[in-house]
Amino acid sequence: MNLFNIISELEKVDPEIMDRLTHRRSALTALGDMTKKMALAAAPIAIGSAFNKAMGQNNSNATVNDILNYALLLERLEYSFYNQALNAATLSTTLTGDARTAITTIRAHELAHVNLLTAALGSNVSPATAPTFDFGANAFTTYAGFLTLAQAFEDTGVRAYKGQATSIPRTLNPTVGGNQVNLLTVALQIHSVEARHAAHIRYMRRGATAGAQTSIMPWIVNKDANGVPDAVYGAGVPTTTFPAEDNVAQGGITALTTMLGATYSAADVSAAFDEGLDSTTVTNIARSVVKF
Amino acid sequence: MSNITKSGGDDAEFAKPLYTPIKRRSFFMYAGATAGATALLLSGCDDDDDNNGTQPGAVSLGSGDVGVLNYAYALEQLEAAFYARVVASPFSGMTTDERTALTAIAQHEAIHRDFFKAAITAAAPTQIIGSLTPKFDNINFSDRTSVLSTARTFEDLGVSAYNGAGSLIQNSTYLLIAGKIVSVEARHAAYIRDLITPGSFSGSDVVDANGLDVRRSVSEVLTLAQPFITETINGDNVGK
């Protein structure tokens, strides 16, 4: 195994690899230490983790850029979804009045998120331009169907941001648009806006023209899908970190229903905590309803 | 000296979730082993989290992660007490749908409160704050506008508090739990706001031009919460 070739290969993928590593010798030492402990068959994985480790220690921006590009993908998807809805001839007579105002507000927020993330990423934006999102022939056929998809995207978005919270270094304070910001705080500020959107969309579905689904609450009760793909409220990977939305265990307390000195229903306990989701599960959910 | 020893013991207990393999790896990846160890030591060095302090009616939230948990516990106590009153004595004209939703919110807040009580008791039993005495003198519980505007204040305040405190939390398990709660508070906020003014779920008074929700520092939040709490809350060392 030629370590110099590996570094060279990494440089092809990431021209700035040597900048990220303090100097070549430390990279080789790290790789050397790894290989002593690992079978040769496992080397590619070992190299990958050594590479990530170096990124994490010397310049966490590489990992964070992945998170930001992932968030950007979701925001681009949401913006495109609402933009297509507002321009859909099929919704022109049903998506009206307060409903159109609300969706216009939400679209503006998603665009603001796209712009903010784009500014934060700078030259690291990937892909450089938004992909084309194909929501299928029936996404905007009916008002009720559109809102069902909207709920899916908003609730998934909330889970997606939450799933990344612990991966963002809490002391990372980049300059975005001339202002120094704390990246974790910004992510949380987007996260709660998505939750506000989700609550409103869910309440819109109670309306007469949306099918009068008056059992839908602004929050997620158990893992009730309300016509949305079940995976949106299902478990992620690992299940222990990202359980399904009907989870009633938190912080090592295995049943909040009975172990808090009072009795609470599983419906209320599950609704009191929104669960996070990993990026792979989120991406799979997105690809199950959108082509991009 | 005995106080320091006791305090350190609680923090060792508190830090346990860090010692799961994944948590430890991510924690050390970013913080560095030395910084991490220092942070844990520092969080053990609270010098003024003694809740039976000299001032009668004064409550210190403490420092480090325990301080953040006490901070959340204090706010959840406030919200839970408020909604318990709302459900017990409904404002005139409360619809069946509103009663259902407000009852659910009351349960969510009670669950948050009891969860923090249990979590802090398990992690740092000597550092948990006591039960606070709510001060709702200026709320007219029979009046819809008074109740809903107070609810909006509490929910938006809660969202801004969790958003502002996230970066203060060192333990990733508790950061994730805070994330699980804040989005529920945001859902509450959106619902309450829509009850007051339909379509105001994410109005420009709470979501700025960058599409960002409000975040507030501990002191900003406590300044706004203090009028509703009898005890004087000191959050000077929360997260430090």
Domain membership of residue B12 (yes or no) is no
Query: Can you give the residue range of the structural domain that contains B224?
Result: 51-234
Q: Please, are residues B202 and A113 in contact by the beta-carbon 8 Å criterion? A: no
**A54-65 pLDDT per residue, tens:** 333 334 455 899
Domain membership of residue B69 (yes or no) is yes
DSSP B92: T
Nearest residue of chain A to residue B97 (CA atoms): A214
Domain membership of residue B85 (yes or no) is yes
Q: Who has greater pLDDT, A241 or B26? A: A241
Domain membership of residue B44 (yes or no) is no
From A60's Cα to the closest Cα of chain B, the distance in A is: 8
CB half-sphere exposure, A280, CA atoms < 13 A: 6
Whether A241 and B176 lie within 8 Å, measured CB to CB:
yes
The architecture (CATH level 2) of A64-219+278-289 comes to Up-down Bundle (1.20)
Domain membership of residue B11 (yes or no) is no
Q: Please, are residues A197 and B202 in contact by the beta-carbon 8 Å criterion? A: yes
Report the run of H or E that residue B7 belongs to, with start and end.
helix B2-14
**A235-263 pLDDT per residue, tens:** 999 999 999 999 999 999 999 999 999 99
Number of domains in chain B: 1
Domain membership of residue B113 (yes or no) is yes
Band (pLDDT 50/70/90 cuts) for residue B10 is very low
**B93-116 pLDDT per residue, tens:** 999 999 999 999 999 999 999 999
pTM of structure: 0.81
Question: Between β-strands A179-180 and B232-234, what pairing exists: parallel, antiparallel or unpaired?
Answer: unpaired
Nearest residue of chain B to residue A245 (CA atoms): B180
Band (pLDDT 50/70/90 cuts) for residue A178 is confident
Secondary structure (DSSP) of A194-238: HHHHHHHHHHHTTSGGGT--TT--SS--TT--TTS-GGGGS--SS
Secondary structure (DSSP) of B108-151: HHHHHHHHHHHHHHHH-TTT------B--TT--TT-HHHHHHHH
Chain A residues with CB inside 8 Å of B170's CB? Answer: 170
Q: Please, are residues A287 and A231 in contact by the beta-carbon 8 Å criterion? A: no
Q: Please, are residues A160 and A277 in contact by the beta-carbon 8 Å criterion? A: yes
CATH assignment of the domain containing B150:
1.20.1260
Chain A residues with CB inside 8 Å of B184's CB? Answer: 195, 219, 271-274
Whether A170 and B198 lie within 8 Å, measured CB to CB:
no
Whether A200 and B107 lie within 8 Å, measured CB to CB:
no
Domain membership of residue B187 (yes or no) is yes
CA distance B193 to B191: 5
Nearest residue of chain A to residue B118 (CA atoms): A260
Backbone angles phi, psi at B238, to 5 degrees: -60, 125
Chain B residues with CB inside 8 Å of A270's CB? Answer: none
The domain ranges of chain A are 3-58, 64-219+278-289
Domain membership of residue B153 (yes or no) is yes
Nearest residue of chain B to residue A221 (CA atoms): B104
What is the predicted ipTM?
0.81
